[in-house]
């Protein structure tokens, strides 16, 4: 997941709207996926990568220009992260 590339146009669905590869299948552990690629991963655990666009995240993240994040709500069903101290950033 950490070595996958994100936020590029899908090579299979590049002509379609919303074909940015910003999702990752935790069951297959391949490269990132676009929303159209997800049809082959219906019963799999998939997370979505996001860019921190809000002002609060810009201020909190010293490497904002290269930061890529996974939403906490996306991770709850997959990992036990209840012990982590999470922060809510309005507009994130």
Taking residue 69's Cβ as centre, other Cβ atoms within 10 Å add up to: 15
List phi, psi (to 5°) of 31: -95, 180
pTM of the model as a whole? 0.61
User: Which portions of the chain are predicted below pLDDT 50?
Assistant: 63-66
Among candidate residues 8, 57, 47, 52, the one with its CA nearest the CA of residue 26 = 47
Segments forming the whole domain that contains residue 18? 1-92
How far from 28 is each of 23, 38, 45, CA to CA, in Å? 12, 12, 9
Predicted confidence at residue 63, as pLDDT, reads 47
Say what the pLDDT of residue 90 is.
61
Number of domains in the chain: 1
């Amino acid at each position: 997941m950490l070595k996958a590339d994100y936020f590029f146009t899908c090579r299979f669905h590049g002509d379609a709207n919303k074909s940015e590869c910003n999702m990752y299948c935790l069951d297959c552990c391949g490269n990132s996926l676009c929303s159209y690629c997800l049809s082959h991963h219906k019963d799999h655990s998939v997370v979505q990568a996001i860019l921190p666009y809000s002002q609060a995240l810009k201020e909190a993240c010293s490497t904002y220009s290269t930061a890529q994040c996974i939403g906490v709500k996306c991770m709850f069903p997959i990992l036990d992260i209840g012990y982590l101290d999470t922060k809510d950033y309005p507009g994130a």
